[in-house]
Chain A
Amino acid sequence: MIKAVMVMNTQGKSRLAKFYEYLDSRLVYKHFATLYFVFVFDSSENELAVLDLIQDVLPSVFVETLDKCFQNVCELDIVFNYSKVVSSLISASI
């Protein structure tokens, strides 16, 4: 089960933080441009699968969705349109 999703920039300033619970076990992160997407999950998730998730699903689903919202999404968009980002994250995660 994925415990948390965090998106932060290079200074560690969090752009988006959705914690599903505060329990951390393993962490996978991936660097996209200036953003780090961090996934925290427990032992019932396969690490590589989550990495796959970030690498493939995330860009395709999440970022695409954001693209549709904002036309060529960039970090600022995530910053400024917090609510939309959150809702698309929720929908994408299902």
Chain B
Amino acid sequence: MSGPSLMDSLFQRTLEDLIKGLRQQLIGEQAFISKALEEIRKEIKSTDLSTKSTALLKLCYLSNLHFHDMSFAAFHALEVLSSPRFSHKKIAYHAISLSFHDSTPVLLLITNHLRKDLTSTNEFEVSLSLQCLSRIANVDLARDLTPEVFTLLSSNKLYVRKRAVAVVLRVFEKYPDSVRVCFKRLVENLENYDPQILSAVVGVFSELACKDPRSYLPLAPEFYKILVDSKSNWISIKVLKIFAKLAPLEPRLANRVVEPICDLMRKTGAKSLLFECVRTVVTSFSEYESAVRLAVGKIREFLVDEDPNLKYLGLHALSIVASKHLWVVSENKEVVIKSLSDPDPNIKIESLRLVMAMVSEHNVAEISKVLVNYALKSDPLFCNEILGSILSTCSRNVYEIIVDFDWYVSLLGEMSRIPHCQMGEEIENQLIDIGLRVKDVRPELVRVARDLLIDPALLGNSFLHRVLSAAAWVSGEYVEFSRNPLELMEALLQPRTSLLPPSIMAIYIQSAFKVLVFCLHTCFVRGGSTAGISASASYESFDDLSVENGAGSTVAHAPITNESIVNLLKLVELALSPLLGSHDVEVQERARNLLGFVDLIKLEALNSSGQEENDSERKGVEATKIIRLVHDAFSKELGPVSLSAQGKVPVPDGLTLNENLGDLETICSDIELPSSNTFSFGYPTEEKDVSSFSNLQIKEDSGQSNESTSLLAEHRKRHGLYYLPSGKSEVISNDYPPANDPALQGDNNNNASDLVKLTAESLVSKRKPNHSKPRPVVVKLDEADEKPVAVKHPESRDDSLSGAVRDILFGSEDILPTSSRSNLPNSNRKGKEKQHMITQVESKENVVDDGNSSSRRRKDHSHGKERRHRKKNAEERNETDRKEKESSSNHPRRHKSRQRAEEPLKVPPQTSVIPDFLL
């Protein structure tokens, strides 16, 4: 674009032209806007104020609606501000409110302008500047302009006073000391009859009270009066909100206020006010049975109303009630469940939350069934919401509400199969978690896992991959509970597993390894000699199940004959040979491991087909030994290591962690690093006693296991302290008898003893293991209980604000150390001490009673003295207050002017002693 033509420069485009041009879209929006911006930049530098202001206006528009930065115009805005014309001022102020922020450099220059306008006689100018101030005020501005605001708070013009009150909020926030100046007037405005002013003041107080209710407790009588007298719904709502915050702090206040609130509830026709009353009651007055009942009745009306807005609000209120009075929710159960199928998604979610709130040990099964049915019928989003909430509720507090884990585990399996399910990760976590923690459910877990693994269709569903990986791990780890390991092997090695991502394939391979070892062990080494599976057991039929009681109940397996072993080995080779060249390191490594192992024992195993099982000489000592070793390695449970264990390890002397590892080459080149799979071998500690390590045997024979196991053992020796004891992960409270699976006939025999065992276990406190397993796909079992530390930063400012407010309301004092501090979060400010509220209250009352200002200056108050004093005053108060609640509350305020803070103080919220104004 060439420079502006003469035509262009003669006639400045107005905002209308700009908008028209924009809408016409002749040259495209961006191009038009950049052209316009260019023009604006030129125009805004002109000396003519009208041109400037039009340019500014256009800039505002562009900035507001099209998000352009207008900070370059800051100074120009100021120039326009100095114009005498009102329209210019308006535009300038508008621009300023939009674009100025704390770091605008010219902010300092605006003070004088504002001051001039604030003191102007034209009320509109005053209001403009007030409006602007409320948007951009920072500490300096607030501080400098406080006197002007103070004057305006008592201005005659309603228009101005309203805005001044509104500004006060921002000024207080930025510059708390202004409270000392302005608060009195603000409170005076509470008594103003004009509804606009009143609503402004009440609005300000409701904002202030939300942040720090305690400071405003003394004003409760005024609020009470407003509540009772008010005609305006808006004001009543605000006052109710204030009371909602105040009431929990002061039970006597609550007592007084409950009645009027209930009255309001009964009488009002406005739904908004009604809802606010209901909300206030259920939030802060939940101890008052009759009030709650009344509120609940009203909630029911909301719930059955046609208007979805009201339904939603009803559900919302119900969920607030639910936290304290669960019976309410059960009463309205049908409505809640019906709302689950409401077209409005917000309503659905609220009702889901309510249903979850109703869940307890007894009904968790039915509710889950109902919910899963709903999930099947719903859209994906809601379906996942449902599943997510079921999962999180059931897993809360280490599965506190689950009594029947077998059912829960099968539910998890079922959930995985729901078409829209995207909660794969959570299900995976829980499957593994439960497997680790709940020993008795492992058979069921393995069954569920088997079902998942066998189904080839599931392999194609990418959402389910995580679940499948959990299933694979579970079946590998607890293979001894499986009924048909051969089937498992086939499932793990099926060709469709190539659809899985490499990390999960690696898990599959490793699990296949474990299952293989188990089969080999059962067939060759055990030779059917243990666990009631005799030598001939391997030829027994599948249906004959014998269960071992006591430690490690095993399920009888499908016959594991020598032929089946041979077939198995062939299958392994077939399935894994293509993976030997896989690009993924993990997969390749594990495949090689497994095939290597197979190679080692293949010869003997094949040779021994058809031979007697106990013929160890024929089988070759080597193979048996290997099998035995590997099996033992796999069968020891590795306990999780705590996340913080690494942090607890003291850095050994002479080790500099940040050193460049370049030297490692020279040091380590001659050490042969063991292959990765051997890291899964390990020895759990029996206790934290380090000396027990020397008792653990370190197997020398197997070349595979030697190095890593010794390394690991070494490590444990040194840092055994940080390994959690082994028995832990098995401890969980299960109050249930073993699953009465009709196929597992044997279980029934031992219900009694199992029950006893279980009850005993249930009395032991639950363990919370938290660590990841030594596997590539790390499943975090962390109960990372990082409760978000409530950030208390905003309180620092509020504190000074509340400090200032308290000074005004209670009488300011010197810094006092106190003996009794209530344990509230912001009570640990360094450096400054806080005043004792009791002293303040006392001093206030003292002012009334004996005008003794010296009593205010006391520094060392013993607690007992205060209490006596307080009681005395309270009694006196009681008598005088009965009739003249109003006037007595006025007394302290009249004396407020006598109270001046010595220095800015930070006042802590103490256990409050509220003057008994209301009694």
Whether A46 and B19, one on each chain, are in contact in the complex, defined by CB atoms closer than 8 angstroms, is no
Q: When chains A and B are docked, how far (Å) is the Cα of A15 from the Cα of B64?
A: 10
Contact flags B180-205 to A (C-beta < 8 A → 1, else 0): 00000000000000001000100100
Q: When chains A and B are docked, how far (Å) is the Cα of A51 from the Cα of B200?
A: 19
Whether B234 and A49, one on each chain, are in contact in the complex, defined by CB atoms closer than 8 angstroms, is yes
Which residues between 252 and 288 of chain B lie within 8 Å of chain A, taking CB atoms? 270-273, 275-276, 279
Contact of A94 among B60, B162, B309 (CB under 8 A): B162
Whether A48 and B91, one on each chain, are in contact in the complex, defined by CB atoms closer than 8 angstroms, is no
Beyond A44-B241, A83-B57, whether A94 also contacts B163 by CB under 8 A is yes
Query: CB-CB < 8 A to B15: which residues of A?
Result: 82-83
Which residues between 20 and 59 of chain A lie within 8 Å of chain B, taking CB atoms? 20, 43-44, 46-49, 51-52
Whether B94 and A87, one on each chain, are in contact in the complex, defined by CB atoms closer than 8 angstroms, is yes
B237 within 8 A of A: yes
A92 within 8 A of B: no
Whether A82 and B207, one on each chain, are in contact in the complex, defined by CB atoms closer than 8 angstroms, is no
Query: CB-CB < 8 A to A15: which residues of B?
Result: 65
Whether A94 and B166, one on each chain, are in contact in the complex, defined by CB atoms closer than 8 angstroms, is yes
B146 within 8 A of A: no
Q: Give the contact-size bracket for chain B.
A: 35 or more
Nearest CB on A from B232, distance (A): 11
Q: Give the contact-size bracket for chain A.
A: 20 to 34
Whether B241 and A52, one on each chain, are in contact in the complex, defined by CB atoms closer than 8 angstroms, is no
Q: When chains A and B are docked, how far (Å) is the Cα of A86 from the Cα of B91?
A: 11
A1 within 8 A of B: yes
B131 within 8 A of A: yes
By beta carbon, the residue of chain A nearest B240 is A46
Beyond A1-B207, A49-B237, whether A83 also contacts B94 by CB under 8 A is yes
Q: When chains A and B are docked, how far (Å) is the Cα of A43 from the Cα of B60?
A: 30
B806 within 8 A of A: no
Main secondary structure of the interface of B (DSSP, over half): helix
Contact flags A46-75 to B (C-beta < 8 A → 1, else 0): 111101100000000000000000000000
B210 within 8 A of A: yes
Contact flags B461-482 to A (C-beta < 8 A → 1, else 0): 0000000000000000000000
Q: When chains A and B are docked, how far (Å) is the Cα of A86 from the Cα of B234?
A: 23
Q: When chains A and B are docked, how far (Å) is the Cα of A3 from the Cα of B196?
A: 20
Whether A80 and B19, one on each chain, are in contact in the complex, defined by CB atoms closer than 8 angstroms, is yes
Nearest CB on A from B433, distance (A): 34
Q: When chains A and B are docked, how far (Å) is the Cα of A16 from the Cα of B313?
A: 28
Interface hub of A1, A44, A80, A86 (most chain B Cβ within 10 A): A44
Nearest CB on A from B750, distance (A): 56
Contact of B94 among A17, A52, A86 (CB under 8 A): A86
Q: When chains A and B are docked, how far (Å) is the Cα of A48 from the Cα of B240?
A: 14
Contact flags A77-94 to B (C-beta < 8 A → 1, else 0): 001111100110010001
A17-B65, A48-B272, A94-B162 given; name 13 further pairs at CB < 8 Å.
A16-B64, A17-B64, A44-B207, A46-B241, A46-B275, A46-B279, A48-B275, A49-B234, A49-B276, A82-B60, A83-B60, A87-B90, A94-B166
The 8 closest A-B pairs by CB, nearest first: A48-B272, A49-B272, A46-B276, A46-B237, A44-B210, A82-B61, A48-B275, A49-B237
Which A residues are closer than 8 A to B by beta carbons?
1, 14-18, 20, 43-44, 46-49, 51-52, 79-83, 86-87, 90, 94
Q: 25 A-B contacts, Cβ less than 8 Å apart?
A: A16-B64, A16-B65, A43-B210, A44-B206, A44-B241, A46-B237, A46-B272, A46-B275, A48-B275, A48-B276, A48-B309, A49-B237, A49-B272, A49-B273, A51-B309, A52-B233, A52-B270, A82-B60, A82-B65, A83-B15, A90-B131, A94-B162, A94-B163, A94-B166, A94-B200
